Amino acid sequence: MFAKTYGATTLGIDGRIIDVEVDVSPGLPGFELVGLPDTSVKESKERVRTAIRNSGMQLRQERVTVNLAPADVRKDSSGLDLPIAVGLLASYGMVPEAAVQSALFSAELSLDGNCRPISGILPMAITAREHGLTEFYVAPSNADEALLIDRLKVYAVENLAQLVRHLTGTEVLTPAVPQATEQKKDAAFTDDFADVQGQYQAKRALEIAAAGGHNVLMVGVPGSGKTMLARRMSSILPELTKEEAIEITKIYSISGLLGKDTGLVTTRPFRSPHHTSSTVAMIGGGSIPRPGEVTLAHHGVLFLDELPEFSKKTLEVLREPIEDRQITVSRANATLTFPSSIILVAAMNEVTSITIQCNDDREAA
């Protein structure tokens, strides 16, 4: 019997709907998973079979074929465990197929059938709404993130057995609702620009840069307050719009930087990579490119302390994100464009500046 469910993965900072097609037929027992899965997805067949058995359900020993479409897109999300399990149960007739036609499933399964959270839920929810899906089943820790998108019923599923009871009508799950959490001051704003005493000329320069979106280079002796001022620059930038906040939250969701039960990111990012960071860490990369520091600082501040200590190659790759407000990363498996609308703030010691100038004069002579 054939059944089809919907899962999702991420590509760049966007979600991608994956059609999970499951076919069960008589023959030599086996479990084939096709459709360009990576290692974590290939291992899902063991997690799924064990989770189903430990949830109190027994399946006949038959030949199972699972296809993840489109087949030319590499799947690298363990969140495909849940749609594979539901599709398998639907193909055996244990779950009505009509109950899964307009739903997206995204969670990792433990061996006892519990649902574990994954990264990238927000872009998946946006893509689900764009494709006309009306229900989204996620792990409880991902529910608040999925609820950021309107016109989408979000269900927090504790385990596979609970989901099966809901789909078969023996138990009714109530759609999740946003948790009423009191607004607390974000950690980024504990460093307030108003706390700086003196430094009037430097503060005026940073205020102008914040107002116009200009980049800043601060030169001074060690201990003069360069890092202190840079860390507080985010607190004088304009508040995020709803669109900017969603875009930043998508980036942090894909990178796995959202904390447990974290909703919308409401403060502008401040990123300060170490001077030993590589070009891949700075602009993003990997076999399937992931965001780098310039993208994680999108709509915020990227601070490069001890600027001359960064390698020449690392500094040169910053030209495109600064000029074009985006960075294109090309790899064998994909070519992706990441947003990088940043304010670059750099700091260096005055002694280093004098040394560089002397070296230039010596070369000119």
> Residue 167: is its pLDDT beyond 80?
yes
Average pLDDT estimate for 267-296? 92
- Predicted local confidence at residue 334, as pLDDT: 80
Mean per-residue pLDDT of the chain: 90
Give the global pTM. Answer: 0.85
CA distance linking residue 223 with residue 200, whole number of Å? 16
- Confidence band, pLDDT 50/70/90 cuts, at residue 188: very low
* pLDDT tens readout for residues 355-365: 555 555 555 55
Instruction: Tell me if the bond preceding 83 is cis, omega within 30° of 0.
Output: no
CA distance linking residue 341 with residue 308, whole number of Å? 23
- Predicted local confidence at residue 361, as pLDDT: 59
- Predicted local confidence at residue 360, as pLDDT: 57
End-to-end CA distance of the chain: 82
Both tokens assigned to 25: 């037929």
- Predicted local confidence at residue 32, as pLDDT: 94
**Residue 230 — φ and ψ, nearest 5°?**
-60, -40
CA distance linking residue 343 with residue 197, whole number of Å? 23
- Confidence band, pLDDT 50/70/90 cuts, at residue 185: very low
* pLDDT tens readout for residues 248-262: 999 999 998 887 666
CA distance linking residue 340 with residue 69, whole number of Å? 31
- Confidence band, pLDDT 50/70/90 cuts, at residue 66: very high
CA distance linking residue 234 with residue 228, whole number of Å? 12
Highest mean pLDDT among 3-7, 145-149, 333-337: 3-7
> Residue 135: is its pLDDT beyond 80?
yes
Lowest mean pLDDT segment, chosen from 58-67, 258-267, 299-308: 258-267
Q: Which of the two residues, 6 and 334, has the higher pLDDT score?
A: 6
Residue 238 is classified by DSSP as P
- Predicted local confidence at residue 183, as pLDDT: 47
CA distance linking residue 331 with residue 286, whole number of Å? 8
> Residue 165: is its pLDDT beyond 90?
yes
Q: Within a 10 A sphere around the Cβ of 179, how many other Cβ atoms? A: 10
CA distance linking residue 272 with residue 326, whole number of Å? 19
Average pLDDT estimate for 203-220? 94
For the chain, domains (ranges, CATH) are: 2-168 (3.30.230.10), 187-364 (3.40.50.300)
* pLDDT tens readout for residues 217-242: 999 988 889 999 999 999 999 999 99
